[in-house]
């Protein structure tokens, strides 16, 4: 049974990023459809996988991490215009029976991601 999960780590502070709002979209030729909205817990993770079983389909998805709100709340960024605000990560799911873990590592001026396990 496949599943999609994520977590967020604050590399500037060296700790999990709690309270990050995340939107999940399914992307198709007709546009984006929001299918989930979650917030990271104290461990920087969601309380449950974003999608599991039949809800995870082959296709293209996009996670949007509301990093700006987190960076302001943690005192790392201020002002109306931030270098990083909403961070979109678009990725494909070629096999819905696998586990796709898409973590985000953030700081006020950089981010990275990878396919985790």
Alpha helices, H only, the chain: 67-73
Q: How far apart are CA 57 and CA 75, in angstroms?
A: 38
For domain 3-113, which architecture applies?
Sandwich (2.60)
- C-alpha 20/C-alpha 65 separation (Å) is 7
Closest C-alpha among 89, 6, 105 to residue 51: 6
Q: Is 0.85 surpassed by the pTM of this model?
A: yes
What the block records as the tokens of 110 is: 């950089």
Domain ranges for the chain, please list them: 3-113
Strand partners, 96: none
Q: What is the pLDDT of residue 117?
A: 85
Structure tokens, 87? 């961070």
Local mean pLDDT, 10-residue blocks, the chain (117 residues): 96 97 96 96 97 96 97 91 95 97 97 94
Which residues are CB-contacts of 80 (< 8 A; sequence separation ≥ 6)? Answer: none
């Amino acid at each position: 049974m496949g599943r999609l999960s994520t977590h967020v780590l604050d590399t500037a502070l060296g700790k999990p990023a709690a309270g990050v709002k995340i939107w999940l979209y399914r992307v198709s030729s007709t546009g984006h459809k929001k299918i989930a909205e979650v917030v990271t817990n104290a461990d920087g993770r969601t309380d449950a996988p974003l999608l599991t079983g039949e809800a995870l389909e082959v296709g293209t998805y996009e996670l949007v991490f509301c990093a700006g709100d987190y960076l302001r709340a943690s005192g790392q960024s201020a002002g109306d215009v931030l270098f990083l605000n909403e961070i979109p990560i678009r990725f494909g799911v070629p096999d819905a029976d696998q586990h796709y873990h898409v973590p985000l590592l953030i700081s006020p001026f950089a981010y990275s991601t990878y396919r985790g396990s």
